[in-house]
């Protein structure tokens, strides 16, 4: 049920997710049963999506509040500024020499005759919350799976986090029909889903998603540096809207591969869910069949085949939030 704020409150998912069950071990049989079960239904009847209009047409938007705790790393700037190598010109040898002279952190170098000016500029970035530029410094000198990037995330409020995932009609510049953002808030996690009811609504859907993303300060994905974010940018460009998302971006796949990869057979998200996070999906549609299920929905108008896609996608963004907290534990709390 929608609250007065237009947000659906849920602990484990809305009723229509829990009804996705028949024939779950055979996806084609499941699709047939879903078509039969929902043959007289409409997507707006079976879900809490609402229609939104913007300059590019209509799209569908749903937001659900999940009663799920979320904690950021809670780091402070000085947790990162102990690395003197953030200053251009200081390498491992020079850092060791400076530390032997008593300069343990970048702030302690502010009065240094040679390094003071550069040190002061670095400190300002981290202490005055210029997170985008601070991220640029870390990207310049650090590996993309360096724990200091997790520490940087801890300098943001959790409401600035955007766990992002998309569903497409293929792997090579095919239309995007579903985009999601999981945003931690004080009372849980808000899951936003932006759905193109038909492919002619793709641009309106992309724009609505982008407007929400621009409100937030940090993008977190799973292989999203190579796939999700460039894919979104290419689709926007296809429609003549050249957008580059300049947010700090943590690709959780890179952290997973580095810090958790030895514990699992592979680093596919569903493997990580089962082996690391202890998540078992009761109802799911294989990723390879997502375009087929969506195509059936488009052609028939029957929402049945779309429902497991929405459930699959919803779990993806929630799993990213869980995975980030696991990565925080492993990289910052001395677990590994």
Domain assignment of residue 315, yes or no: yes
Q: Which residues pair with 168 in a beta bridge?
A: 176
Degrees (nearest 5) of the Cα angle 153, 313, 34?
Answer: 165
Residue 89, domain extent? 77-150
Residues 190, 93 share a domain: no
The answer, yes or no, to whether residue 288 has pLDDT greater than 80, is yes
Average model confidence (pLDDT) for the chain? 91
Domain assignment of residue 3, yes or no: no
The answer, yes or no, to whether residue 308 has pLDDT greater than 50, is yes
The answer, yes or no, to whether residue 5 has pLDDT greater than 50, is no
pLDDT-derived band of residue 334, with 50, 70 and 90 as boundaries? Answer: low
Calpha distance 288→285 (Å, rounded): 8
pLDDT for 13: 40
Residues 171, 141 share a domain: no
How many structural domains does the chain have?
2
Structural domain ending residue among the three candidates 103, 120, 150:
150
Residues 285, 303 share a domain: yes
Domain assignment of residue 1, yes or no: no
If we measure between CA atoms, which residue out of 251, 241, 185 comes closest to residue 216?
Answer: 185
22 in Cβ contact with 37 (< 8 Å): yes
pLDDT tens digits, 96-130? 999 999 999 999 999 999 999 999 999 999 988 78
For the chain, the farthest-separated pair of C-alpha atoms sits apart, in whole angstroms, at 77
Residues 115, 53 share a domain: no
Structural domain ending residue among the three candidates 91, 124, 150:
150
What lies within 8 Å, CB to CB, of 81 at 6+ separation is 105, 106, 107, 122, 123, 126
Residues 136, 32 share a domain: no
Average pLDDT over residues 124-145: 93
Average pLDDT over residues 257-277: 92
- E strand residue ranges, the chain: 8-10, 50-54, 57-66, 161-168, 176-185, 188-195, 218-221, 249-251
CATH of the domain at 175: 3.30.420.10
Average pLDDT over residues 68-84: 93
Residues 320, 266 share a domain: yes
pLDDT above 70: percentage of residues in the chain: 91
User: Which tokens hold the place of 221?
Assistant: 């994905």
Residues 164, 115 share a domain: no
The answer, yes or no, to whether residue 21 has pLDDT greater than 90, is no
Domain assignment of residue 134, yes or no: yes
Domain assignment of residue 129, yes or no: yes
Identify the weakest region by mean pLDDT among 171-175, 312-316, 322-326.
171-175
Residues 265, 128 share a domain: no
The answer, yes or no, to whether residue 18 has pLDDT greater than 60, is no
Through-space distance between the first and last CA atoms of the chain, rounded to whole angstroms:
43
Whose structure tokens read 């998302």? Answer: 245
The answer, yes or no, to whether residue 82 has pLDDT greater than 90, is yes
pLDDT for 17: 42
Residues 139, 184 share a domain: no
101 in Cβ contact with 109 (< 8 Å): no
Residues 187, 67 share a domain: yes
Domain assignment of residue 289, yes or no: yes
Structural domain ending residue among the three candidates 150, 184, 201:
150
CA–CA distances in Å: residue 310 to residues 69, 113, 115, 205, 321: 22, 59, 53, 15, 17
Residues 307, 234 share a domain: yes
54 in Cβ contact with 204 (< 8 Å): yes
Average pLDDT over residues 186-190: 94
Provide φ and ψ at 23, rounded to 5°.
Answer: 65, 30
Residues 184, 143 share a domain: no
The model's pTM is 0.92
């Amino acid at each position: 049920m929608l609250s007065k704020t237009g947000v659906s409150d849920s602990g484990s998912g809305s009723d229509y997710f829990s009804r996705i069950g028949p024939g779950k071990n055979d996806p084609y049989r499941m699709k047939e049963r879903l078509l039969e079960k929902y043959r007289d239904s409409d997507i707006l009847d079976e879900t809490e999506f609402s229609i939104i209009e913007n300059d590019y047409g209509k799209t569908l938007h749903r937001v659900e509040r999940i009663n799920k705790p979320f904690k950021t790393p809670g780091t402070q700037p000085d947790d990162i500024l102990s690395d003197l190598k953030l200053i251009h010109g200081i390498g491992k040898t020079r850092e060791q020499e400076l530390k032997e002279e008593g300069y343990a952190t970048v702030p302690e170098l502010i009065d240094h005759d040679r390094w003071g000016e550069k040190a002061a500029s670095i400190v300002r970035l981290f202490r005055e919350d210029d997170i985008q530029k601070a991220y640029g410094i870390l990207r310049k000198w650090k590996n993309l799976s360096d724990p200091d990037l997790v520490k940087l995330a801890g300098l943001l409020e959790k409401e600035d986090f955007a766990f992002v995932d998309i569903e497409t009609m293929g792997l090579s510049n095919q239309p995007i029909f579903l985009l999601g953002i999981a945003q931690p808030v004080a009372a849980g996690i808000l899951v936003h889903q932006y759905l193109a009811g038909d492919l002619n609504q793709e641009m309106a859907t992309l724009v609505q998603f982008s407007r929400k993303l621009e409100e937030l300060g940090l993008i977190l994905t799973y292989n999203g540096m190579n796939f999700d974010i460039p894919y979104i940018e290419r689709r926007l460009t296809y429609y003549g809207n050249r957008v580059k998302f300049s947010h700090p971006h943590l690709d959780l796949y890179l952290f997973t591969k580095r810090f958790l990869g030895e514990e699992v057979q592979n680093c596919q998200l569903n493997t990580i869910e089962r082996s690391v996070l202890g998540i078992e999906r009761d109802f799911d549609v294989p990723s390879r069949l997502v375009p087929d299920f969506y195509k059936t929905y488009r052609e028939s108008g029957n929402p049945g085949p779309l429902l497991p896609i929405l459930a699959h996608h919803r779990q993806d963004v929630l799993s990213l939030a869980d995975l980030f907290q696991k990565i925080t534990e492993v990289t910052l709390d001395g677990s590994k």
